[in-house]
Amino acid sequence: MTRLLTIETTCDETAAAVVDDNLRVLGAVVASQDELHGPFHGVVPEIAARAHLERIVPVIDEALRRAGVTLAEIDAIAVAHTPGLAGSLLVGVVAAKTLSLVLGKPLIGINHLQAHIYACRIAAGRDVFPCVGLVVSGGHTSLYRCRDACDFEWLGGTIDDAAGEAFDKVASLLGLGFPGGPAVARAAIDGDPAAHRFPRSFIHDEDRLEFSFSGLKTAVRYAIAGPGRADFRSVALTPRQVADLAASFQEAVVDCLVEKSVHALRKTGLRRLCVGGGVAANQRFRERLGQMLAKRRIELIIAPPELCTDNAVMGAIAFERLRAGLVDGLDLDPLPGLVRR
Ligand code: KG4
Ligand code: ZN
């Protein structure tokens, strides 16, 4: 049996896990920084990096403790080195390189977005490739043709905000908490999704596998402030109004994600969709996507919510790279920008 220690510090979660080559999770820890970023309604990169630095060693220690193994019993070290916040990535990459050097064990750099899709492979307990992959997170909204676990082709993505980012910003406009996704979803439960007709960019353009959520965000802002007025802060909304705005916004995002997924499936001819990233935890999205794909007899795999939001377990994609001989050296760098592979 081979045991992998995986490290995840791409954004604002410090996470580590020990997983074996049967994809059994032996121990996993996620230390959230929500309480640090909440007052700012978004992730502050400098705060995130400093918190990772304080937490990375205790988090790794705790993952090993839960797994009941020592560092000497670890066979390889994996780290998400792209994409993400530069300072955050650096902490994980340096920790992983140090362990690899000291223990003399292989180092595997992984792509965080591919890992989000691989969460579906872990959850399914069987092969899920080839498939269309959709990553919907705080930083990314992208569609991929996934030929196998090491071969991802970027099909298209957002041209401005990510879906999760839109949830976070709209939550802030509505005076809801951070992270915004769960807060908007909770507020939307009592709302009417048809109360406001918000824009759904390029939704009918089948050839355009792109998303745009910035106009939607602006539309919510004007819906709060009133026509022609930009100052939404002085407007006191009733709980009913907040619920309707949240539900209508959520519906617009869900419509775009569902439609574009169908377009990508049609374009590639693939019959399976794997969805990952924090927004994939959204209940309304899961239901609507499930209904749409069931009608078309297309297989849908969405990881359970705890594997949708950032975690280190999904770093087990490193086993696939290890098997394919894709091992990295100590020159592995953090690559903050989007890597379209
Ligand atoms: O994948 P993730 O944990 O981190 C990134 O890689 O970005 O995604 C975080 C994003 C945040 O924007 C958060 O608001 C959103 O996922 N999110 C949700 C839900 N849970 C988390 N969005 C909508 N509905 C949810 N239930
Ligand atoms: Zn993520």
Q: What is the mean pLDDT of the chain?
A: 95
Q: What is the mean pLDDT of residues 80-92?
A: 97
| 109 within 8 A of 328, measured Cβ to Cβ | yes
Q: Which strands make up the sheet holding 131-136, listed edge to edge?
A: 151-157, 141-148, 131-136, 272-276, 299-302
**339: pLDDT strictly greater than 90:** no
pLDDT in tens, 235-247: 789 999 999 999 9
CA of 280 to the centre of ligand 1 (A): 8
| 43 within 8 A of 138, measured Cβ to Cβ | yes
Q: What is the mean pLDDT of residues 211-226?
A: 94
Tokens matching residue 276: 């990952």
Q: Does 182 contact ligand 1 (Cβ within 6 A)?
A: yes
Which one has a higher pLDDT value, 341 or 336?
336
Distance CA 277, CA 50 (A): 24
Q: Which CATH class is domain 127-306?
A: alpha beta
Distance CA 135, CA 156 (A): 11
Q: What is the mean pLDDT of residues 309-324?
A: 97
For the chain, percent of residues with pLDDT exceeding 70: 99
Cα distances (Å, whole numbers) of residue 82 to 24, 79, 98, 139, 146:
24, 9, 18, 12, 18
- Rounded to 10 degrees, the C-alpha dihedral 100/101/105/107 comes to 40
| 127-306 has the same fold as 3-116+308-323 | yes
Q: What is the structure's pLDDT at 340?
A: 62
Q: Does 15 contact ligand 1 (Cβ within 6 A)?
A: no
Distance CA 63, CA 9 (A): 14
Domain boundaries, the chain: 3-116+308-323, 127-306
Distance CA 130, CA 124 (A): 14
Q: Does 181 contact ligand 1 (Cβ within 6 A)?
A: yes
Q: What is the structure's pLDDT at 79?
A: 98
Distance CA 81, CA 97 (A): 11
CA of 298 to the centre of ligand 2 (A): 25
| 87 within 8 A of 316, measured Cβ to Cβ | no
Q: pLDDT grade, residue 341 (50/70/90)?
A: low
| 142 within 8 A of 135, measured Cβ to Cβ | yes
For the chain, percent of residues with pLDDT exceeding 90: 92
**231: pLDDT strictly greater than 90:** no
CA angle 54, 60, 61 (to 5 degrees): 100
Distance CA 11, CA 207 (A): 32
Q: Does 277 contact ligand 1 (Cβ within 6 A)?
A: yes
Q: Does 138 contact ligand 1 (Cβ within 6 A)?
A: yes
- Strand 76-82 versus strand 25-32 pairing type: unpaired
Q: Which residues contact 22 (CB under 8 A, 6 or more apart)?
A: 1
pTM of the model: 0.95
User: What are the two backbone dihedrals, phi and then psi, of residue 20, each rounded to the nearest 5 degrees?
Assistant: -100, 175
Query: What CATH number does the domain located at 3-116+308-323 have?
Result: 3.30.420.40
